Amino acid sequence: MAKAAKKPKLDKAGLTVLGLDRLIDIALDEAALNVSFKKRLNAALAGISGGDAVAKLVDSRLDTLQKARTRIKGQRERLFAKELESLLATIVKEFGPVDPGMALERLIRFVFGYEVIADRANDSSGRIAKIYGQACEAAGELAKVLKPEDAARIPALVTPGIGGADYYGFHTLLAVRITGGLPADVLKTWDETLAGNMKIPAGSPYLPAIVPVRRAIADARHDLDSHVLIEKALPEGLQEPKLLAARLFEAGRFTEALMWVRRPRKARMGFLRRADIHGGSVAPVQPDAARLEAAILDGMKDRTAAQAVRWAAFEERLDAGILRDYIAKAGDFEEFEALDKAFAFIERHPDVNAALAFYLEWPRLDLAARYVTRRTDIWDGRFADALAPAAIALEVNHPAAATVLYRAMLDHILRAGLSDAYQDAASYLSRLSDLAGQVQTEPGQMTHGAYVESLRQKHGRRFGFWSQVT
DSSP annotation of 121 reads B
Residue 422, Cβ neighbours under 10 Å: how many? 20
Query: Which is more confidently placed, 371 or 166?
Result: 371
Q: What is the pTM of this model?
A: 0.79
Tell me: do 259 and 184 sit in the same domain.
yes
Tell me: do 356 and 341 sit in the same domain.
no
Q: Looking at residue 375, which CATH number applies to its domain?
A: 1.25.40
Tell me: do 236 and 292 sit in the same domain.
no
CB 376 within 8 Å of CB 387: no
Span 263-287, average pLDDT: 64
The per-residue pLDDT of the chain, averaged, comes to 87
Instruction: Give the domain-ending residue among 331, 348, 365.
Output: 348
Q: In angstroms, rounded to a whole number, what is the distance separating the alpha carbons of residues 64 and 416?
A: 59
Query: Residue 248 — pLDDT band, cuts 50, 70, 90?
Result: very high
Task: Quote the domain boundaries for residue 438.
Answer: 350-470
Alpha-carbon separation of residue 80 from 71, 84, 147, 212, 369 (angstroms): 11, 6, 34, 31, 56
Note the pLDDT tens digit of each residue in 1-28.
455 556 666 577 666 665 665 665 555 6
373 in a structural domain: yes
Tell me: do 246 and 120 sit in the same domain.
yes
Most confident range (mean pLDDT) of 230-234, 235-239, 289-293 is 289-293
Of 14-28, 80-94, 167-181, 198-212, minimum mean pLDDT range: 14-28
pLDDT for the residue 47: 53
| Residue 470 pLDDT > 90 | no
Q: In angstroms, rounded to a whole number, what is the distance separating the alpha carbons of residues 357 and 261?
A: 28
- DSSP, collapsed to helix, strand or coil, labels residue 408 as helix
CB 118 within 8 Å of CB 71: no
Tell me: do 370 and 295 sit in the same domain.
no
Span 372-384, average pLDDT: 94
Note the pLDDT tens digit of each residue in 413-425.
999 999 999 999 9
Residue 10, Cβ neighbours under 10 Å: how many? 6
Q: In angstroms, rounded to a whole number, what is the distance separating the alpha carbons of residues 400 and 397?
A: 9
Indicate the number of domains in the chain. Answer: 3
Tell me: do 385 and 454 sit in the same domain.
yes
pLDDT for the residue 1: 47
